[in-house]
Amino acid sequence: MSGAGRSTALKVFEDLGYTIIDNLPQYLFAHLHEGIQEGNLGLPLVVGVDVRTLGAQAGSFLKTLDKLRQTYNVKLLYLGCHSDVLMKRYNVSRHRHPYGHKTLAEGIQEERERLAPIKAVADYVIDTSLLSVVTLGRVLKNIFTRATSPQLQIRLISFSYRKGLPADADIVLDARFLENPHYEEHLQPLTGRDEPVAKFLQHDRSWTSVFTSIKQTLEPTLKGFKNSGRSYLTIACGCTGGQHRSVFMVEQLAKYLQKLGENVMVEHRELGL
């Protein structure tokens, strides 16, 4: 989607050592296979496309993609965003939408409809509505950093239910069963990363049994994701304010998963970390 972070993503891929092609016209995209075979394009390669590149129909793009997949390991990444957030971004940036002949809302909706067939077959769909530039960069690096052997990338994110669930969460855990440190005056300014808060929550009589159940559920779940060839998983932990309980739960899960040898990235959305 235009305004969803394509330029940011391309910069991240460039930092990761990929060859970048942006805004490749549709008629040239159809000849991409020949360009790679002739050695004119370096691999690994990232091609940035938007609705202007694709033209009126997505069919020919998908046919070219299928042709490339017969020879190369091709992954399709779709960056999306909620319409209201896109409208705010356009109003702030003052950039013109590709369908500028229509109202902004109509242009965004038409673009969404035209890109729907591509989104439907994408290997990765990332909603950037609630992601900062830094966070989007972290997510992309965790998925697309080249490694000698594939490994499931686990992203743990804490959040506030007041501000909405992370749109790309695969598993959501609710930490609101724990006693709320917010009502303890000496703990109120702290976060779930601080030792006093951690000790307070660890003494909650529900914590040990619930965390044991979570671990017993996660182990076979992670195994199943790995066996299915999944390369990226987001586990979100929420509480009322996103400051104490959810942060604590994410930190505890991170320690546990790291002991298992998993590749873990931690994000505390409401703390900006």
Query: Can you give the three-state secondary structure of the chain, one letter per residue?
Result: CCCCCHHHHHHHHHHCCCEEEECCCHHHHCCHHHHHHCCCCCCCEEEECCHHHHCCCCHHHHHHHHHHHCCCCCCCEEEECCHHHHHHHHHHHCCCCCCCCCCHHHHHHHHHHHHHHHHHHCCEEEECCCCCHHHHHHHHHHHHCCCCCCCCEEEEEEEEHHHCCCCCCCEEEECCCCCCHHHCCCCCCCCCCCHHHHHHHHCCCCHHHHHHHHHHHHHHHHHHHHHCCCCEEEEEEEECCCCCHHHHHHHHHHHHHHHCCCEEEEEEHHHCC
Structural domain total, the chain: 2
Tell me the average pLDDT of the chain. Answer: 87
- Asked if 124 and 223 sit in the same domain, the reply is no
Last residue of a domain, one of 119, 144, 169: 144
196 inside domain: yes
- Asked if 14 and 140 sit in the same domain, the reply is yes
Residues 222-258 pLDDT 10s = 988 877 667 789 999 999 999 999 999 999 999 999 9
73 inside domain: yes
Residues 98-156 pLDDT 10s = 776 778 888 889 888 888 999 999 999 999 998 888 889 888 888 887 654 446 889 99
- Asked if 22 and 87 sit in the same domain, the reply is yes
Lowest mean pLDDT among 4-8, 90-94, 144-148, 164-168: 144-148
pLDDT for residue 57 is more than 70: no
1 inside domain: no
- Asked if 106 and 10 sit in the same domain, the reply is yes
Lowest mean pLDDT among 13-17, 203-207, 210-214: 13-17
- Asked if 138 and 35 sit in the same domain, the reply is yes
Per the structure, the complete domain to which residue 224 belongs is given by 153-271
Instruction: Kindly report the pTM of this predicted structure.
Output: 0.53
- Asked if 164 and 256 sit in the same domain, the reply is yes
pLDDT for residue 83 is more than 70: yes
Last residue of a domain, one of 125, 144, 163: 144
